């Protein structure tokens, strides 16, 4: 019987280890999801012919956990025949010609400056804060029923000479004009 | 205790020799005494099917001892020892047939001893290679211990065993999620079983929460960027479903111990993945406060 108790003790210790060993992952699920959407946008949106040469530039203003996912995407995928180039802009003044510009939530206050910087380019501006859809952004990530969705400002996007596939329109939440 | 058992066995053996000199039982006992267990085994086996001795409870009592000795001498390292099972079954048969009761105590002690060795073998088999053996030995242990004490409560032991089993299943699953997909449900079943036995079990609640959470995270992690938006919607539905399944168990773990670091990380992660950022931040804040307190 003594041996039984020894093994029981071992089992109980094992259980304690179990509790401490299975930590939760630090993986950012939201960031990966958004990066997946962004990659898809490159398939459903067509840029003017002058933008179909060189690298396909995705700019990120400030810090975003999605940056690493975009780099991962850039290392493995292409936008059509164009290789991706992920650019990090530390401030609005650094923004130059790019295909997409992502403005993270924490930098939403810089949206107007960013919009001014890309006003002459066919840049799809993407944000991630409620109510920004009508503020001049092209696509705005929102949460609906715990799910990642996106609002699309058709007029703004088309004003940038970007062509939107009808299938993307059917999946988007359309921005009130 | 062993000595007393031995003496009573000897007494009964002597008595048997007087009344059944020529039987196979007697021969079996002689060989048993001489340490010739193989021969003892063949005589007691033939006695156990012979019409003259099959109904004698003592045939089964001796059979139990002979097989027990074979186990002790030759099969101790065999976690599936057939002689151990034969010994227990023989002792059990004796108990069913016996009306005198004199040998009951020694028989029960023997069953308890053999059952304990089965339990020990179950415990040492709790690993990724032998878990099936662990499960069958653990179930056998409970079954045989009920011969000794039909009212014995196994709840605590059941909980401890299944929590470790859940860990073993998790190791198998984590090794190759695709190939070992069936283990997701096995792990789930193990923790549900523990929660059924004890709804306030912190480990089972936490681990079940983590299981669902990790499953969803892993699905998202493995997603290929080529996944189209329609498929992505379906995958989101699946993952939100998993995160929501995870939440009540992690919440229960949190209620049971609101200051446990791992639980706070898990709960914050679930809310974050459900895009409920305020709740996630609130839990994160609690975690930071606890860490500050710990540093003091």
Number of domains, chain B: 2
Residue A19 reports pLDDT greater than 50: no
Q: Does residue B163 share a domain with residue B147? A: no
Instruction: Tell me the per-residue pLDDT of A100-131, one tens digit each, with 9 for 90 and over.
Output: 999 999 999 999 999 999 999 999 999 999 88
CA distance B204 to B197: 10
Superfamily designation of domain A28-45+54-169: Response regulator (3.40.50.2300)
Question: B63 and B48 in contact (C-beta within 8 Å)?
Answer: yes
The domain spanning residue B11 has which CATH number?
A: 1.25.40
Domain of B157, in residue numbers: 153-296
- Looking at every residue in chain A, the average pLDDT score rounds to 88
> Residue A136: exposed, middle, or buried by beta-carbon count in 10 A (0-12, 13-18, 19+)?
middle
Q: Does residue B172 share a domain with residue B122? A: no
A30 and B CB contact within 8 Å: yes
Q: Do B269 and A10 touch (CB under 8 A)?
A: no
Q: How many CB atoms lie within 10 A of CB B177?
A: 15
Interface with chain A: mutation pick from B142, B166, B220, B284, highest number of A CBs within 10 Å: B220
Q: Does residue B179 share a domain with residue B275? A: yes
Walk across the sheet containing A82-89 and list its strands: A78-79, A82-89, A56-61, A100-103, A124-127, A139-144, A147-152, A173-174
Q: Does residue B1 share a domain with residue B104? A: yes
Chain pair A-B, CB pairs under 8 angstroms: 121
Q: Does residue B141 share a domain with residue B17? A: yes
Would you place residue A12 in the very low, low, confident or very high pLDDT band (cuts 50, 70, 90)?
Answer: very low
- Enter the ipTM: 0.87
Residue A150 reports pLDDT greater than 60: yes
Helix (H) / strand (E) element for A60: namely strand A56-61
Residue A61 pairs in a beta bridge with A89
Domain locations in chain A?
28-45+54-169
3-class SS letters over A119-168: CCCCCEEEECCCCCHHHCCCEEEEEECCEEEEEECHHHHHHCCCEECHHH
CA distance B162 to B156: 10
Residue A1 reports pLDDT greater than 70: no
Q: Do B226 and A37 touch (CB under 8 A)?
A: no
Q: Do A18 and B210 touch (CB under 8 A)?
A: no
Please tell me the predicted confidence (pLDDT) of residue B287.
95
The domain spanning residue B281 has which CATH number?
A: 1.25.40.10
Q: Do B274 and A36 touch (CB under 8 A)?
A: no
Q: Does residue B109 share a domain with residue B237? A: no
Residue A177 reports pLDDT greater than 80: no
Last residue of a domain, one of B117, B151, B185: B151
A33 and B CB contact within 8 Å: yes
Q: In whole angstroms, how far apart are CA B8 and each of A1, B13, B62, B123? A: 22, 8, 12, 32
Chain B residues lying within 8 Å of A73, measured CB to CB: 225
The segments of chain B whose pLDDT lies below 50 read 1, 17-18, 20-22
Instruction: Tell me the per-residue pLDDT of B60-83, one tens digit each, with 9 for 90 and over.
Output: 999 999 999 999 999 999 999 999
Q: Give the torsion sign (CA, A155, A161, A166, A168).
A: negative
Q: Does residue B66 share a domain with residue B115? A: yes
Q: Does residue B116 share a domain with residue B182? A: no
A145 and B CB contact within 8 Å: yes
Closest to B263 measured CA to CA, from A23, A159, A109: A23
Last residue of a domain, one of B151, B166, B191: B151
Chain A residues lying within 8 Å of B155, measured CB to CB: none
Share of chain A above pLDDT 70, in %: 85
Q: Which residue has the higher pLDDT, B65 or A136?
A: B65
Share of chain A above pLDDT 90, in %: 79
Please tell me the predicted confidence (pLDDT) of residue A25.
56
CA distance A136 to B262: 42
E-assigned strands of B134-217?
A: none
Closest-CA residue of A relative to B273 is A29
CA distance B97 to B86: 16
Q: Does residue B107 share a domain with residue B81? A: yes
The whole-number average pLDDT for the span A85-112 is 96
Q: Does residue B170 share a domain with residue B130? A: no
- Can you give the C-alpha Rg of chain B in angstroms? 28
Would you place residue A13 in the very low, low, confident or very high pLDDT band (cuts 50, 70, 90)?
Answer: very low
């Amino acid at each position: 019987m003594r041996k039984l108790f020894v093994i029981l003790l071992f089992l109980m210790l094992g259980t304690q280890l179990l509790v401490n060993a299975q930590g939760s992952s630090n993986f950012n699920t939201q960031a990966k999801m958004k990066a997946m959407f962004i990659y898809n946008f490159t398939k459903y949106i067509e840029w003017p012919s002058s933008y179909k040469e060189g690298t396909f530039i995705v700019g990120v203003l400030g810090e975003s956990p999605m940056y690493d996912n975009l780099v991962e995407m850039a290392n493995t995928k292409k936008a059509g025949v164009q290789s991706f180039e992920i650019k990090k802009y530390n401030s609005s003044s650094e923004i130059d010609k790019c295909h997409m510009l992502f403005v993270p939530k924490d930098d939403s206050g810089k949206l107007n400056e960013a919009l001014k910087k890309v006003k002459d380019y066919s840049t799809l501006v993407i944000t991630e804060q409620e109510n920004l859809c009508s503020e001049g952004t092209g696509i705005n990530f929102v949460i609906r029923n715990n799910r990642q969705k996106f609002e699309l400002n058709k007029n703004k996007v088309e004003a940038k000479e970007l062509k939107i596939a009808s299938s993307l329109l059917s999946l988007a939440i359309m921005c009130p004009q | 205790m062993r000595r007393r058992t031995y003496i009573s066995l000897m007494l009964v053996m002597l008595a048997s020799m007087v009344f059944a000199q020529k039987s196979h039982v007697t021969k079996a006992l002689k060989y048993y005494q001489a340490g010739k267990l193989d021969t003892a085994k063949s005589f007691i086996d033939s006695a156990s099917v012979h019409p003259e001795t099959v109904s004698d409870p003592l045939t089964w009592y001796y059979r139990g001892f002979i097989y027990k000795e074979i186990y002790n001498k030759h099969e101790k390292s065999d976690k599936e020892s057939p002689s151990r099972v034969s010994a227990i079954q023989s002792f059990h048969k004796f108990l069913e047939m016996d009306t005198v009761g004199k040998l009951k105590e020694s028989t029960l002690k023997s069953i308890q001893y053999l059952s304990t060795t089965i339990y020990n073998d179950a415990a040492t088999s709790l690993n990724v290679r032998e878990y099936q053996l662990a499960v069958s030995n653990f179930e056998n242990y409970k079954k045989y211990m009920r011969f000794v004490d039909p009212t014995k409560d196994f709840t605590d032991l059941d909980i401890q065993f299944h929590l470790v089993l859940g860990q073993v299943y998790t190791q198998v699953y984590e090794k190759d999620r695709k190939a070992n997909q069936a283990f997701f449900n096995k792990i789930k079943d193990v923790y549900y079983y523990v929660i059924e036995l004890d709804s306030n079990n912190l480990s089972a609640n936490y681990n079940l929460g983590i299981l669902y959470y990790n499953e969803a995270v892993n699905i998202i992690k493995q997603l290929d960027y080529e996944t189209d938006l329609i498929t992505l919607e379906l995958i989101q539905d699946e993952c939100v479903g998993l995160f929501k399944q995870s939440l009540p168990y992690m919440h229960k773990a949190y209620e049971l111990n609101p200051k446990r670091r791992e639980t706070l990380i898990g709960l914050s992660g679930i809310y974050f993945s459900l895009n409920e950022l305020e709740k996630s931040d609130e839990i994160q804040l609690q975690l930071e406060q606890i860490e500050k307190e710990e540093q003091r």
